[in-house]
Structure 1
Amino acid sequence: MKNLCFLFLNLSFLCFTSFGQTNVSGNVSGTWTKANSPYIITSDVTVPAGQTLTIQPGVVVQSDAYNDDLLVYGTLLAQGTAADSIRFRGVFVSGNSTHGGTLFFLTGSSSSILDYVAVDRMGDSYYEGAAVYIANGETPTIRNTVVRSSELNDFKIWAGGARNFASVKAVVSVDRGTGGSNAIMPKLGYGSYYRLITDITVGGGQTLTVQPGVVVQSDAYNDDLLVYGTLLAQGTAADSIRFRGVFVSGNSTHGGTIYFHTGSSGSVLDYVVVERMGDTYYEGAAIYVDQGETPTIRNTVVRSSERHDFKIWAGGARNFSNLRAIVDLDRGTGGANATMPKLGYGSYYRLITDITVGGGQTLTIQPGVVVQSADYSDDLRVYGTLLAQGTAADSIHFRGVFVSTNSSHGGTIYFHTGSSGSVLDYVVVDRMGDTYYLGAAISLEASCTIKNTTVKNSELTGIYTKQGSYVFNNCSIYANATWGVYNASTVATDIVDARNCYWGNPTGPYHPTLNPSGTGNKVTDKVLFNPWSQTPGGCMSVTVKSGNWNDPTVWLCGQVPSSTDLVVIRHAVALSGSFTAHAKQVAYETGGSLNLGTNSQIQLGN
């Protein structure tokens, strides 16, 4: 039964009772009952500020055309039940109006509730194109709700508009950022996801929290997430968060980029999967970290990017851990110290241009790190300090790759003037030193510490010294195409001390006069190489300071010599009283001496 009222031109009302529909328009409040259902929106219906419209379970609300909207400035309470839901539905009218209008939650509507509601065939694209629209700052409660068969968008919301969503079956399009508010994106229902349909900005001082299980889709190359504040996307091992791109056309085959801009260092990605992002139409990176920013990214996989998983500055990965991705470096240290931690299994850093460690800055590379130089022109240039200190169990690797016949090796590690505090320890430098330029894996013009380091497979020269004197301790220099060590200095006193190193063969390095029978890598004049190690990584028992024979810190290898060791004494070494030392053979160099205490002795041979 329906009570129908008509307003005539003389401003009089005529009301009568009829069995059928209830037509509604204009300002509304009160209660819509199942008995008077369906309610037909014949033109815009408005719930004014301060007013409440309650819709009872089982009610059907029909929007007849694209411009027949429900505008909520007050409170809409549409609370159905699991057994008797509420339906909003649109209808096909003509080719210009194939769906109903929009359910607008406008300023003042945050107390509204949709529960056990179905929204079907709403959101005609002639105007807003959304079945449900949520204005900036509004957070209505929407749960146990299905939105389907919309012409373009099920929802159009700001980044925090879904704060009070739960068990929603729909695609939730995000077309505005955080504005001046913190925002939360909770998990939706099964198969549902958020969709970025333009750039979304997390403003400075604001936080966007993405909860476990959320899926965020970037629809095109220019639908980016721009973080100037804080992004907290913290999933769990059982319920990760996913950012994904999609194929749209030949010009847009991947999603956009997650940008960590100035002010975003407090951001966290944890248990996150980033897939098919980073379209090359613009930046070409799935994740971009701005100069000086250090977001925390851990337990995260980045895959199927069009070109770059990450593009960062040299210190942008300071707080990375357990990562599965290729991390591309396209900027140096800038004005800051930087740290490159170990990534996850199979992951590595890649130099995609020259990377500079500026004067006065320090780049620390932690044990286990792998750094790849993508081609001959991708160099590491050190004007400050490079601390690449691996361990015997977890070395650091610099490696080049074959790109083409013009770039068959990686670039060069340059230690320029001012880099004398640098250290390479337990480092492997492999397939670096393309001949397109210098052809050396390592170029030295400052006195750095290089020990326990392997340099191999360069296209021309392993280590090139331009000026100064150097000591290489317990290094392996072999399989370089022409030279193991090339001393290019014209100063007579610039000596390279590469004794106790391995050269690729037990016969030692080749030198035309000092070791013509050596078949290892060649060395130039002013390179000391005798004695040499017989095996790669073989540590010789050579003194590094004065002290007692039985003090492990006196010896290069960190252990007291045994009866099988060839011993080289370069310092004053003492045998304490009643002590017996053992060695296979002992050689003395300038400054070396052995002082025997009372009843002490040295036994030679096995």
Structure 2
Amino acid sequence: MNWHLWRIIPLICFITLVVVLIVLPNEVHAALNCSDPGVICRSGTLADNETWTAGNVYVISGSDVTVPAGVMLTIQAGAIVKFNLGRSMIVDGELVVSGTQASPVYFTSIRDDTIGGNTDNDPALPAAGNWGRILFRSGSSGTLTHLELRYGGGADWWWWGMLQLDTGATVSLTAATLTSASSCALSTTPQNDFTLNNMSPASFTGSIYNGICVYEGTVNANTTWDETEAAYVPLNDITIALGSTLTWGPGIVIKPSWREAEFLVNGSLNATGTASQPIYVTSPRDDAIGGATDNSTELPGPGQWGRILFRSGSSGTLTHLELRYGGGADWWGWGAIHIENASPSIRLCTLRNNIRGLASYGASANPTIERCRIYGNTQYGVFNGEPNHWISAVNNWWGSASGPNDPNPPGTDGDYNNGAGDHVSNFVRYRPWDRNLPFRISVPFIVR
């Protein structure tokens, strides 16, 4: 290096230091000050019952706040709770949020200056995932009324809900608004559920999944899903154990998150829809049912979720259930309803716009498929993969008064029909068929 540069370098460093000392105080904003009027910083485990009151901004700051077993945290109408980046609230005891329509309670990011002012003295804008979650662990409870949650969910690969339930937690949520989560608005295990009141799909906006995400897992006890105010979004496979029953209540909407997501039935699945409150299992891109669950502008299509698989020894009663856009990848041979040596009852249902509506395998498979609407499926309305074993699919409507399309000439299974409806495979008994729509389904919009 040139000898003269060695003499210049110290001078450059000195000038740089002077500039930093002069400019930096004007550019850096003061950080969160827990001594500011109206700002109360909280962290760690609560020692006793607490009440957080209106007119204050409570900041979850240095570490997560834990409400231990036997302790109640009450948050009154008009209080504001802001989470520092990455912080959460863990509930082992009881959380009571008593907002009102005029004075809701807010849970939001420390960067959200639209509520409670510029608490952290920083111009940075809030964003989804700024804070983590309110986690209700097993044995805890919550009664949450008139609240708004914004910008939570943590890192998007964790798939946390802004409110998350472990199995054994009990939480009711009334007149709540959930917006801008990095992944799920709500999340729970398959053997648990929220109680939602005075809400609708419009209560959920701006999140990756505007609904109730259900984690992969097993239903080991009789369980009911019956919330109609938000779509259920299974994130992966849900297994129903032998000896256990999962019941779907009237009017619920289920949108599995991807094409391999399945319901694996070893026990029993009962879908108890009604004519006025049918049950839907459909794609997360299907905005016509249950609102814009995934905020995608892409259109739904066949194979965007997997199947309901009835395994050998399982059972099921499916009534007024509509399955659309299922069947997984077209080379797998899955049906939206897939049967392996089982005999579920399927009545007054709709199988439409799947790759295969129903697929049956095994010599012990004897499903009842009756008074259903089966149309718009790209490969088969009903497929039987067991040669010389007949299954019954009589008195159904196949999308045309001329019946299903069974192009095989006599001699294969002894029957054929050149109808304009959905394809059927060999060894499916479809005569007589219904020449008219057997029933009408209405789209549910239910607020409780």
Common fold: TM-score over 0.5: yes
More deviation, 530-539/505-514: 530-539
Q: CA deviation at 1:251?
A: 10
Match of residue 178 from structure 1:
46
Query: What number of residue pairs does the alignment pair up?
Result: 368
Match of residue 374 from structure 2:
477
- Alignment gaps of 5+ in structure 2: 1-20, 22-28, 112-123, 205-210, 286-297, 410-414, 441-448
Match of residue 400 from structure 1:
283
Question: Is 1:458 equivalent to 2:393 in the alignment?
Answer: no
* Contact in 1 for aligned 2:302/2:327 (Cα 8 Å): no
Match of residue 426 from structure 2:
525
Match of residue 155 from structure 2:
280
Q: CA deviation at 1:509?
A: 0.4
Match of residue 271 from structure 2:
388
- CA displacement, residues 211-244 of structure 1 (integer Å, 9 cap, x when unaligned): 12221111212x1000011111132233222111
1:435 to 321, 329, 335: 329
* Contact in 2 for aligned 1:216/1:243 (Cα 8 Å): yes
Match of residue 8 from structure 2:
none
* Contact in 2 for aligned 1:470/1:495 (Cα 8 Å): no
Match of residue 310 from structure 1:
186
1:208 to 73, 76, 83: 73
Q: Distance in 1 between matches of 2:196 and 2:264?
A: 23
Q: In structure 2, do the counterparts of structure 1 residues 537 and 254 end up closer, same or farther at CA, with 3 Å as the change threshold?
A: farther
Secondary structure in 2 matching 1:274: strand
Question: Is 1:335 equivalent to 2:220 in the alignment?
Answer: yes
Q: CA deviation at 1:369?
A: 0.6
- CA displacement, residues 238-269 of structure 1 (integer Å, 9 cap, x when unaligned): 322211124568998522211011221x3212
- The AA in structure 2 aligned to 1:383 is N
- CA displacement, residues 304-324 of structure 1 (integer Å, 9 cap, x when unaligned): 101111221123225233443
- The AA in structure 2 aligned to 1:523 is V
Secondary structure in 2 matching 1:455: strand
2:146 to 249, 271, 277: 271
* Contact in 2 for aligned 1:382/1:419 (Cα 8 Å): yes
- The AA in structure 1 aligned to 2:394 is R
Match of residue 443 from structure 2:
none
Question: Is 1:423 equivalent to 2:317 in the alignment?
Answer: yes
Please say which structure displays the higher CA radius of gyration.
Answer: 1
Which structure has greater strand proportion? Answer: 1
Q: Distance in 2 between matches of 1:482 and 1:151?
A: 61
Q: CA deviation at 1:151?
A: 6.6
Q: CA deviation at 1:395?
A: 0.5
Match of residue 227 from structure 1:
91
* Contact in 1 for aligned 2:156/2:182 (Cα 8 Å): no
More deviation, 236-245/477-486: 236-245
Q: In structure 2, do the counterparts of structure 1 residues 177 and 252 end up closer, same or farther at CA, with 3 Å as the change threshold?
A: farther
Identity %: 26
The alignment yields a C-alpha RMSD, in angstroms, of: 2.7
Q: CA deviation at 1:533?
A: 1.2
Q: In structure 2, do the counterparts of structure 1 residues 153 and 252 end up closer, same or farther at CA, with 3 Å as the change threshold?
A: farther
Q: Distance in 1 between matches of 2:266 and 2:157?
A: 32
Match of residue 249 from structure 2:
366
Q: In structure 2, do the counterparts of structure 1 residues 496 and 292 end up closer, same or farther at CA, with 3 Å as the change threshold?
A: farther
Secondary structure in 2 matching 1:205: coil
- The AA in structure 2 aligned to 1:339 is T
Higher relative contact order (CA 8 A, sep 6+): 2
Q: Distance in 1 between matches of 2:348 and 2:301?
A: 31
Q: In structure 2, do the counterparts of structure 1 residues 454 and 406 end up closer, same or farther at CA, with 3 Å as the change threshold?
A: closer
Q: In structure 2, do the counterparts of structure 1 residues 336 and 405 end up closer, same or farther at CA, with 3 Å as the change threshold?
A: closer
Which structure has greater helix proportion? Answer: 2
Q: In structure 2, do the counterparts of structure 1 residues 407 and 375 end up closer, same or farther at CA, with 3 Å as the change threshold?
A: farther
- The AA in structure 1 aligned to 2:334 is G
Q: Distance in 2 between matches of 1:251 and 1:343?
A: 28
Q: CA deviation at 1:376?
A: 1.0
Question: Is 1:154 equivalent to 2:34 in the alignment?
Answer: yes
Match of residue 239 from structure 1:
103
Give the TM-score normalised by structure 2.
0.76
Question: Is 1:352 equivalent to 2:238 in the alignment?
Answer: no
Match of residue 571 from structure 1:
none
Q: Distance in 1 between matches of 2:97 and 2:430?
A: 55
Q: In structure 2, do the counterparts of structure 1 residues 472 and 406 end up closer, same or farther at CA, with 3 Å as the change threshold?
A: closer
Q: Distance in 2 between matches of 1:438 and 1:419?
A: 20
- The AA in structure 1 aligned to 2:169 is E
Give the TM-score normalised by structure 1.
0.57
- The AA in structure 2 aligned to 1:337 is N
- CA displacement, residues 487-524 of structure 1 (integer Å, 9 cap, x when unaligned): 1124x4x4322111010111000112434321111112
Q: Distance in 1 between matches of 2:417 and 2:394?
A: 17
Match of residue 301 from structure 1:
177
Q: CA deviation at 1:455?
A: 0.5
Secondary structure in 1 matching 2:254: strand
- CA displacement, residues 343-392 of structure 1 (integer Å, 9 cap, x when unaligned): 32xx3111111111111111111111110022111111111111111110
Question: Is 1:535 equivalent to 2:430 in the alignment?
Answer: no
Q: In structure 2, do the counterparts of structure 1 residues 392 and 281 end up closer, same or farther at CA, with 3 Å as the change threshold?
A: closer
- Alignment gaps of 5+ in structure 1: 1-94, 96-148, 157-168, 540-606
